[in-house]
């Protein structure tokens, strides 16, 4: 006669299987957390870029409202302390005057500090002298 072997009806996970499952879960959660942090930093960078764009557009709109002969004086005496929107923000307008064609090219450069780096953004437009 053969000995009767009782089959166990208890089914479950071994300790090793549980440890492997937990390790895989931790790797997935760590990857998702790293992605979340990266997205938050990218969101902050994009927000700062939008603010810099808005500030540069503001300066250019102020210039567009001036008489053509007043543009140089306004930009030479521009006070950049009106924009405390970004960390250590500095607004630097610059113009190149083409007296032959009566066109002035205006570039506004915004610089700011972001996560221990200096970032910058420039916006350029041209304004022509109109016949009056």
pLDDT tens column, 6-15: 566 667 788 8
List beta partners, residue 98: 103
Question: Residue 52 belongs to what H/E stretch?
Answer: helix 15-64
pLDDT, tens only, 52-109: 999 999 999 999 888 888 888 888 888 776 667 788 888 889 888 877 788 889 999 9
Quote the pTM value.
0.74
Which residue spans within the chain are E strands per DSSP? 90-98, 103-114, 117-128
Please state the domain extents for the chain.
Answer: 19-128
> Which residue did the predictor score with more confidence, 48 or 79?
48
Alpha carbon 116 to its chain centroid, in Å, reads 14
Confidence of residue 46 (pLDDT cuts 50, 70, 90): very high
């Amino acid at each position: 006669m053969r000995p009767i072997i009782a089959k166990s009806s208890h089914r479950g996970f071994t300790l090793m299987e549980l440890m492997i499952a937990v390790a895989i879960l931790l790797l997935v959660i760590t990857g998702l957390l790293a992605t979340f942090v990266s997205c938050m930093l990218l969101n902050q960078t994009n927000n700062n870029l939008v603010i810099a764009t808005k500030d540069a557009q503001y300066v250019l709109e102020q210039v567009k409202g001036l008489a053509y002969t007043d543009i140089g004086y306004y930009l030479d005496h521009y006070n950049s302390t009106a924009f405390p929107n970004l960390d250590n923000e500095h607004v630097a307008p610059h113009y190149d005057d083409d007296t032959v064609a009566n066109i002035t090219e205006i570039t506004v450069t915004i610089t700011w500090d972001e996560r221990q780096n200096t970032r910058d953004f420039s916006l350029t437009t041209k304004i022509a002298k109109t016949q009056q």
